[in-house]
Amino acid sequence: MMLILELDYKGLLGKCEYPFKLDPVIFLSFVKSYRINHMKTTLSETSLNILINTVQKNCHRADARHAGDYTLCVYLLKMREMYRWEQKISFNEVLTVEDVGDWLTNREDVWDTLEGLDYCSLEIEGQIYDAFDNDKINAILNPKGLLYSAGLGIRCRPHFFIADLVEHYQRDKTDIFISGHEYARDMAAPPAMMQNGLVFIRNESLRRMLWEKVEEWRMSPVDSPLGRAVAAYDFADDVEMALDKMAAVESALIIEHELGEVLAGEILGGQWNEMLNALSPSVAEIMLRAIRDNLADSLTTLDKLLEKNTVASIHFYFGSLTAMRKKLSPQLIACYEKWHESGDLNAIAQHIKTSSQHWERLGKACLQLFSEQNKDAADSIEKLVEKNIL
Protein backbone atom coordinates (compact mmCIF):
# COMPACT_ATOMS: atom_id res chain seq x y z
CA MET A 1 0.00 0.00 0.00
CA MET A 2 1.43 3.36 -1.03
CA LEU A 3 0.87 6.41 1.19
CA ILE A 4 1.20 9.87 -0.35
CA LEU A 5 2.22 12.67 2.00
CA GLU A 6 1.86 16.36 1.17
CA LEU A 7 4.78 18.21 2.80
CA ASP A 8 5.50 21.87 3.31
CA TYR A 9 8.96 22.17 4.83
CA LYS A 10 10.41 25.68 4.97
CA GLY A 11 8.01 26.71 2.23
CA LEU A 12 8.96 23.93 -0.18
CA LEU A 13 5.88 22.00 -1.33
CA GLY A 14 6.19 18.48 -2.61
CA LYS A 15 4.81 14.98 -2.54
CA CYS A 16 6.66 12.09 -0.97
CA GLU A 17 5.81 8.43 -1.30
CA TYR A 18 6.12 6.31 1.83
CA PRO A 19 8.53 4.77 2.48
CA PHE A 20 10.56 7.85 1.59
CA LYS A 21 14.07 9.08 2.25
CA LEU A 22 14.07 12.13 4.48
CA ASP A 23 16.60 13.29 7.01
CA PRO A 24 15.13 12.44 10.45
CA VAL A 25 16.04 15.85 11.91
CA ILE A 26 14.26 17.61 9.05
CA PHE A 27 11.28 15.31 9.44
CA LEU A 28 11.00 15.97 13.19
CA SER A 29 11.26 19.70 12.56
CA PHE A 30 8.48 19.36 9.99
CA VAL A 31 6.30 17.44 12.45
CA LYS A 32 6.77 20.12 15.15
CA SER A 33 5.99 22.86 12.63
CA TYR A 34 2.97 20.92 11.35
CA ARG A 35 1.58 20.48 14.84
CA ILE A 36 1.83 24.15 15.64
CA ASN A 37 0.84 25.66 12.30
CA HIS A 38 -1.70 23.18 10.94
CA MET A 39 -3.35 21.56 13.95
CA LYS A 40 -4.07 24.80 15.81
CA THR A 41 -7.45 26.40 16.31
CA THR A 42 -7.59 30.15 15.92
CA LEU A 43 -8.98 33.15 17.70
CA SER A 44 -11.43 35.26 15.76
CA GLU A 45 -9.87 38.36 14.21
CA THR A 46 -11.86 40.56 16.59
CA SER A 47 -10.78 38.60 19.69
CA LEU A 48 -7.15 38.59 18.57
CA ASN A 49 -7.12 42.34 17.93
CA ILE A 50 -8.65 43.06 21.34
CA LEU A 51 -6.07 40.82 23.00
CA ILE A 52 -3.13 42.39 21.14
CA ASN A 53 -4.34 45.91 21.93
CA THR A 54 -4.68 45.07 25.63
CA VAL A 55 -1.21 43.53 25.83
CA GLN A 56 0.27 46.54 24.02
CA LYS A 57 -1.57 48.84 26.43
CA ASN A 58 0.17 47.05 29.31
CA CYS A 59 3.49 47.41 27.48
CA HIS A 60 2.93 51.18 27.23
CA ARG A 61 2.13 51.36 30.93
CA ALA A 62 5.31 49.47 31.80
CA ASP A 63 7.32 51.77 29.54
CA ALA A 64 5.72 54.84 31.13
CA ARG A 65 6.85 53.68 34.58
CA HIS A 66 10.33 52.52 33.69
CA ALA A 67 11.63 54.51 30.70
CA GLY A 68 13.65 56.57 33.17
CA ASP A 69 15.64 53.49 34.20
CA TYR A 70 17.90 53.89 31.16
CA THR A 71 20.71 56.31 30.44
CA LEU A 72 19.76 58.89 27.82
CA CYS A 73 21.86 57.22 25.13
CA VAL A 74 20.38 53.76 25.71
CA TYR A 75 16.87 55.22 25.99
CA LEU A 76 17.12 56.95 22.61
CA LEU A 77 18.51 53.83 20.97
CA LYS A 78 15.70 51.67 22.33
CA MET A 79 13.04 54.17 21.34
CA ARG A 80 14.44 54.41 17.82
CA GLU A 81 14.23 50.63 17.50
CA MET A 82 10.73 50.64 19.00
CA TYR A 83 9.77 53.09 16.26
CA ARG A 84 11.35 50.81 13.65
CA TRP A 85 9.34 47.86 14.99
CA GLU A 86 6.02 49.71 15.10
CA GLN A 87 6.49 51.10 11.59
CA LYS A 88 7.77 47.75 10.24
CA ILE A 89 10.96 49.32 8.86
CA SER A 90 13.81 47.07 7.73
CA PHE A 91 17.13 47.11 9.56
CA ASN A 92 18.70 47.95 6.20
CA GLU A 93 17.10 51.41 6.37
CA VAL A 94 18.89 54.13 8.32
CA LEU A 95 16.66 56.10 10.69
CA THR A 96 17.33 59.76 11.41
CA VAL A 97 16.38 62.05 14.28
CA GLU A 98 13.80 63.65 11.98
CA ASP A 99 12.19 60.26 11.37
CA VAL A 100 11.71 59.50 15.04
CA GLY A 101 11.39 62.96 16.66
CA ASP A 102 7.65 63.64 16.36
CA TRP A 103 6.75 60.03 17.15
CA LEU A 104 8.93 60.10 20.30
CA THR A 105 7.35 63.35 21.51
CA ASN A 106 3.87 61.94 20.99
CA ARG A 107 4.76 58.70 22.78
CA GLU A 108 6.12 60.55 25.81
CA ASP A 109 2.91 62.61 25.90
CA VAL A 110 0.91 59.36 25.97
CA TRP A 111 3.10 58.02 28.79
CA ASP A 112 2.31 61.10 30.87
CA THR A 113 -1.34 59.98 30.91
CA LEU A 114 -0.50 56.38 31.85
CA GLU A 115 1.87 56.59 34.81
CA GLY A 116 0.38 55.00 37.90
CA LEU A 117 -2.39 53.13 36.08
CA ASP A 118 -2.80 49.46 36.90
CA TYR A 119 -2.12 46.78 34.30
CA CYS A 120 -5.17 45.59 32.40
CA SER A 121 -6.62 42.09 32.69
CA LEU A 122 -6.83 40.11 29.45
CA GLU A 123 -10.07 38.94 27.88
CA ILE A 124 -9.88 35.73 25.84
CA GLU A 125 -12.99 34.08 24.46
CA GLY A 126 -15.20 35.77 27.02
CA GLN A 127 -13.01 34.85 30.02
CA ILE A 128 -11.01 37.39 32.05
CA TYR A 129 -7.44 36.59 33.14
CA ASP A 130 -4.94 38.43 35.32
CA ALA A 131 -2.21 39.83 33.08
CA PHE A 132 0.46 37.85 34.96
CA ASP A 133 -1.37 34.50 34.87
CA ASN A 134 0.89 33.04 32.18
CA ASP A 135 -0.08 29.40 32.71
CA LYS A 136 -3.82 29.86 32.24
CA ILE A 137 -3.40 32.30 29.37
CA ASN A 138 -0.98 30.06 27.47
CA ALA A 139 -3.19 27.02 28.07
CA ILE A 140 -5.69 28.84 25.84
CA LEU A 141 -3.25 30.51 23.41
CA ASN A 142 -0.61 27.82 22.74
CA PRO A 143 -3.03 25.47 20.91
CA LYS A 144 -3.96 28.48 18.77
CA GLY A 145 -0.36 29.03 17.73
CA LEU A 146 0.29 31.98 20.05
CA LEU A 147 2.70 32.57 22.93
CA TYR A 148 2.25 35.06 25.76
CA SER A 149 4.47 36.09 28.62
CA ALA A 150 4.35 38.56 31.48
CA GLY A 151 7.15 38.74 34.02
CA LEU A 152 9.46 40.96 36.04
CA GLY A 153 12.96 41.95 34.99
CA ILE A 154 15.64 44.11 36.54
CA ARG A 155 14.31 46.73 38.99
CA CYS A 156 11.09 44.69 39.01
CA ARG A 157 10.26 46.09 35.59
CA PRO A 158 7.29 44.24 34.05
CA HIS A 159 7.74 42.81 30.56
CA PHE A 160 4.85 41.75 28.31
CA PHE A 161 4.68 40.24 24.84
CA ILE A 162 2.44 38.18 22.60
CA ALA A 163 3.79 36.48 19.49
CA ASP A 164 3.43 33.56 17.11
CA LEU A 165 4.47 30.28 18.71
CA VAL A 166 7.04 28.78 16.34
CA GLU A 167 8.22 25.79 18.33
CA HIS A 168 7.76 24.05 21.68
CA TYR A 169 9.93 21.19 22.86
CA GLN A 170 11.50 19.74 25.98
CA ARG A 171 15.17 19.49 26.82
CA ASP A 172 16.49 18.13 30.10
CA LYS A 173 12.87 18.06 31.31
CA THR A 174 12.56 21.81 30.68
CA ASP A 175 9.88 23.21 28.37
CA ILE A 176 11.33 25.59 25.77
CA PHE A 177 9.05 27.89 23.80
CA ILE A 178 10.32 29.67 20.67
CA SER A 179 8.37 32.67 19.37
CA GLY A 180 8.41 34.35 15.98
CA HIS A 181 6.56 37.47 14.85
CA GLU A 182 5.63 39.68 17.80
CA TYR A 183 2.26 41.44 17.91
CA ALA A 184 2.83 43.42 21.12
CA ARG A 185 6.01 44.23 23.08
CA ASP A 186 7.55 46.79 25.40
CA MET A 187 10.60 48.91 24.64
CA ALA A 188 12.98 46.61 26.54
CA ALA A 189 11.88 43.34 24.89
CA PRO A 190 14.37 40.88 26.46
CA PRO A 191 15.20 38.16 23.91
CA ALA A 192 15.02 35.33 26.44
CA MET A 193 13.71 34.64 29.91
CA MET A 194 13.13 31.82 32.36
CA GLN A 195 9.89 31.89 34.30
CA ASN A 196 8.78 29.22 36.75
CA GLY A 197 11.01 26.64 35.11
CA LEU A 198 9.83 27.48 31.56
CA VAL A 199 12.19 28.98 28.97
CA PHE A 200 11.00 31.59 26.46
CA ILE A 201 13.17 32.48 23.44
CA ARG A 202 12.00 35.43 21.35
CA ASN A 203 13.54 35.18 17.89
CA GLU A 204 12.35 38.58 16.71
CA SER A 205 13.60 40.33 19.84
CA LEU A 206 16.87 38.42 19.60
CA ARG A 207 17.52 39.91 16.16
CA ARG A 208 16.60 43.33 17.47
CA MET A 209 18.87 42.95 20.51
CA LEU A 210 21.76 41.94 18.26
CA TRP A 211 21.10 44.98 16.08
CA GLU A 212 21.14 47.23 19.15
CA LYS A 213 24.51 45.75 20.11
CA VAL A 214 25.82 46.47 16.61
CA GLU A 215 24.56 50.05 16.80
CA GLU A 216 25.96 50.45 20.29
CA TRP A 217 29.41 49.50 19.01
CA ARG A 218 29.10 51.75 15.95
CA MET A 219 28.62 54.73 18.24
CA SER A 220 32.14 54.10 19.55
CA PRO A 221 33.89 51.79 17.06
CA VAL A 222 36.96 50.84 19.08
CA ASP A 223 38.71 47.48 19.15
CA SER A 224 36.67 45.51 21.67
CA PRO A 225 35.12 42.06 22.10
CA LEU A 226 31.83 43.34 20.68
CA GLY A 227 33.54 44.99 17.73
CA ARG A 228 35.44 41.76 16.98
CA ALA A 229 32.15 39.85 16.97
CA VAL A 230 30.45 42.36 14.67
CA ALA A 231 33.41 42.24 12.25
CA ALA A 232 32.75 38.53 11.66
CA TYR A 233 29.49 39.34 9.83
CA ASP A 234 28.80 41.35 6.66
CA PHE A 235 26.74 44.17 8.13
CA ALA A 236 28.06 46.59 5.53
CA ASP A 237 26.27 44.94 2.59
CA ASP A 238 23.18 43.25 4.04
CA VAL A 239 22.12 43.93 7.61
CA GLU A 240 19.15 41.55 7.53
CA MET A 241 21.22 38.61 6.30
CA ALA A 242 24.00 39.35 8.80
CA LEU A 243 21.46 39.43 11.64
CA ASP A 244 19.96 36.12 10.49
CA LYS A 245 23.39 34.48 10.56
CA MET A 246 24.35 36.01 13.89
CA ALA A 247 21.02 35.07 15.49
CA ALA A 248 21.33 31.48 14.28
CA VAL A 249 24.67 31.18 16.09
CA GLU A 250 23.78 33.06 19.27
CA SER A 251 20.32 31.57 19.85
CA ALA A 252 21.87 28.22 20.80
CA LEU A 253 23.99 29.85 23.52
CA ILE A 254 21.06 31.90 24.77
CA ILE A 255 19.12 28.67 25.25
CA GLU A 256 22.11 27.28 27.17
CA HIS A 257 22.06 30.29 29.45
CA GLU A 258 18.35 29.92 30.16
CA LEU A 259 18.82 26.21 30.91
CA GLY A 260 21.59 27.30 33.27
CA GLU A 261 19.08 29.67 34.88
CA VAL A 262 16.80 26.70 35.54
CA LEU A 263 19.66 24.84 37.26
CA ALA A 264 20.67 27.97 39.18
CA GLY A 265 17.09 28.34 40.36
CA GLU A 266 17.11 24.77 41.67
CA ILE A 267 20.36 25.44 43.54
CA LEU A 268 19.39 28.82 45.02
CA GLY A 269 15.74 28.06 45.76
CA GLY A 270 12.56 30.10 45.69
CA GLN A 271 13.72 32.68 48.23
CA TRP A 272 16.07 34.13 45.61
CA ASN A 273 13.31 35.94 43.71
CA GLU A 274 11.80 37.11 46.99
CA MET A 275 15.18 38.64 47.84
CA LEU A 276 15.46 40.36 44.43
CA ASN A 277 12.01 41.90 44.75
CA ALA A 278 12.64 43.02 48.34
CA LEU A 279 15.95 44.72 47.48
CA SER A 280 14.86 46.40 44.23
CA PRO A 281 16.03 48.93 43.19
CA SER A 282 19.53 48.85 44.64
CA VAL A 283 23.13 48.08 43.77
CA ALA A 284 22.67 44.86 45.73
CA GLU A 285 19.92 43.76 43.31
CA ILE A 286 22.20 44.32 40.32
CA MET A 287 24.97 42.37 42.06
CA LEU A 288 22.61 39.49 42.84
CA ARG A 289 21.42 39.28 39.25
CA ALA A 290 25.05 39.21 38.09
CA ILE A 291 25.85 36.42 40.56
CA ARG A 292 22.98 34.29 39.30
CA ASP A 293 23.90 34.97 35.66
CA ASN A 294 27.50 33.99 36.38
CA LEU A 295 26.34 30.82 38.13
CA ALA A 296 24.05 29.90 35.23
CA ASP A 297 26.82 30.37 32.67
CA SER A 298 29.34 28.41 34.74
CA LEU A 299 26.86 25.50 34.79
CA THR A 300 26.04 25.41 31.06
CA THR A 301 26.89 28.28 28.73
CA LEU A 302 30.66 28.47 29.07
CA ASP A 303 31.14 24.74 28.50
CA LYS A 304 29.05 24.96 25.33
CA LEU A 305 30.93 28.08 24.23
CA LEU A 306 34.25 26.22 24.45
CA GLU A 307 32.81 23.09 22.86
CA LYS A 308 31.64 25.00 19.80
CA ASN A 309 34.80 27.15 19.74
CA THR A 310 33.25 29.69 17.37
CA VAL A 311 35.51 32.74 17.41
CA ALA A 312 32.76 35.31 16.73
CA SER A 313 30.54 33.78 19.40
CA ILE A 314 33.28 33.87 22.04
CA HIS A 315 33.88 37.54 21.26
CA PHE A 316 30.14 38.25 21.43
CA TYR A 317 29.73 36.51 24.77
CA PHE A 318 32.40 38.64 26.41
CA GLY A 319 31.31 41.76 24.56
CA SER A 320 27.76 41.36 25.91
CA LEU A 321 28.61 40.94 29.58
CA THR A 322 27.14 43.69 31.75
CA ALA A 323 29.44 46.06 33.60
CA MET A 324 28.57 44.38 36.91
CA ARG A 325 29.29 40.88 35.62
CA LYS A 326 32.69 42.03 34.38
CA LYS A 327 33.38 43.77 37.68
CA LEU A 328 32.66 40.57 39.61
CA SER A 329 34.65 38.33 37.22
CA PRO A 330 38.01 40.00 36.46
CA GLN A 331 39.80 36.63 36.25
CA LEU A 332 37.42 35.44 33.53
CA ILE A 333 37.97 38.65 31.57
CA ALA A 334 41.73 38.11 31.87
CA CYS A 335 41.27 34.54 30.57
CA TYR A 336 39.41 35.92 27.56
CA GLU A 337 42.19 38.40 26.79
CA LYS A 338 44.73 35.57 27.02
CA TRP A 339 42.66 33.54 24.55
CA HIS A 340 42.40 36.54 22.21
CA GLU A 341 46.18 36.90 22.20
CA SER A 342 47.08 33.22 21.92
CA GLY A 343 44.02 31.30 20.73
CA ASP A 344 44.42 28.98 23.74
CA LEU A 345 41.12 28.21 25.50
CA ASN A 346 42.76 26.38 28.39
CA ALA A 347 42.71 29.36 30.76
CA ILE A 348 38.94 29.76 30.34
CA ALA A 349 38.45 26.00 30.74
CA GLN A 350 40.41 25.97 33.99
CA HIS A 351 38.44 28.95 35.31
CA ILE A 352 35.13 27.20 34.69
CA LYS A 353 36.11 24.28 36.94
CA THR A 354 36.02 26.41 40.09
CA SER A 355 33.65 29.23 39.17
CA SER A 356 30.33 27.43 39.67
CA GLN A 357 31.25 26.53 43.27
CA HIS A 358 32.30 30.13 43.94
CA TRP A 359 29.05 31.66 42.66
CA GLU A 360 26.93 29.05 44.42
CA ARG A 361 28.64 29.73 47.76
CA LEU A 362 28.36 33.48 47.31
CA GLY A 363 24.71 33.28 46.29
CA LYS A 364 23.83 31.17 49.31
CA ALA A 365 25.76 33.52 51.61
CA CYS A 366 23.69 36.41 50.26
CA LEU A 367 20.53 34.43 50.93
CA GLN A 368 21.65 33.89 54.52
CA LEU A 369 22.13 37.63 55.00
CA PHE A 370 18.68 38.26 53.57
CA SER A 371 17.15 35.66 55.92
CA GLU A 372 18.71 37.48 58.86
CA GLN A 373 18.16 41.10 57.81
CA ASN A 374 15.38 41.03 55.21
CA LYS A 375 15.01 44.40 53.43
CA ASP A 376 17.90 45.84 55.46
CA ALA A 377 20.35 43.36 53.94
CA ALA A 378 21.34 45.48 50.92
CA ASP A 379 24.42 47.10 52.47
CA SER A 380 25.67 43.83 53.97
CA ILE A 381 25.22 42.03 50.66
CA GLU A 382 27.07 44.75 48.76
CA LYS A 383 30.03 44.53 51.16
CA LEU A 384 30.06 40.73 51.00
CA VAL A 385 30.05 40.68 47.20
CA GLU A 386 32.77 43.33 46.98
CA LYS A 387 35.01 41.03 49.04
CA ASN A 388 34.27 37.99 46.85
CA ILE A 389 34.99 38.94 43.27
CA LEU A 390 36.52 36.18 41.20
Burial state string for 326-364 with b = 16 or more CB within 10 A and e = fewer than 16? ebbbeebeebbeebeeeeebebbeebbeebbebbbebbe
Q: Is 351 inside any structural domain? A: yes
The pLDDT of residue 8 is 37
Count the domains in the chain. Answer: 3
* 182 lies in the same domain as 84: yes
The pLDDT of residue 33 is 45
* 51 lies in the same domain as 88: yes
* 68 lies in the same domain as 151: yes
Q: How confident is the prediction along the chain (390 residues), in pLDDT tens digits per residue?
A: 233 333 333 333 333 333 334 444 333 444 444 444 444 557 788 889 999 999 999 999 999 998 888 888 888 888 999 999 999 998 888 888 888 999 999 999 999 998 789 999 999 988 999 999 999 999 999 999 999 999 888 777 899 999 999 999 999 889 999 999 999 999 989 999 988 889 999 999 999 999 988 888 888 888 899 999 999 998 888 889 999 999 988 999 999 999 999 999 999 998 998 999 899 889 999 999 999 999 999 999 999 999 999 999 999 999 999 999 999 999 999 999 999 999 999 999 999 989 999 999 999 999 999 999 999 999 999 999 999 999
* 353 lies in the same domain as 382: yes
Coil/strand/helix, residue 4? strand
Domain end, chosen from 177, 210, 243, is at 210
* 377 lies in the same domain as 325: yes
Nearest to 190 by CA among 179, 182, 199, 201: 201
Q: Is 382 inside any structural domain? A: yes
* 289 lies in the same domain as 165: no
* 106 lies in the same domain as 166: yes
* 50 lies in the same domain as 28: no
Q: Is 247 inside any structural domain? A: no
The pLDDT of residue 181 is 95
The pLDDT of residue 24 is 40
DSSP 143-187: GGTEEEEEEE-GGG-EEEEEEEEEEEEEETTEEEEEEEEEEEE-S
Q: Is 274 inside any structural domain? A: yes
Q: Is 224 inside any structural domain? A: no
Q: Is 7 inside any structural domain? A: yes
Q: Which residues span the domain enclosing 85?
A: 45-210
Q: Is 97 inside any structural domain? A: yes
The pLDDT of residue 290 is 96
Q: Pairing state of beta strands 174-185 and 198-202?
A: parallel
Q: Is 229 inside any structural domain? A: no
The pLDDT of residue 27 is 39
* 80 lies in the same domain as 165: yes
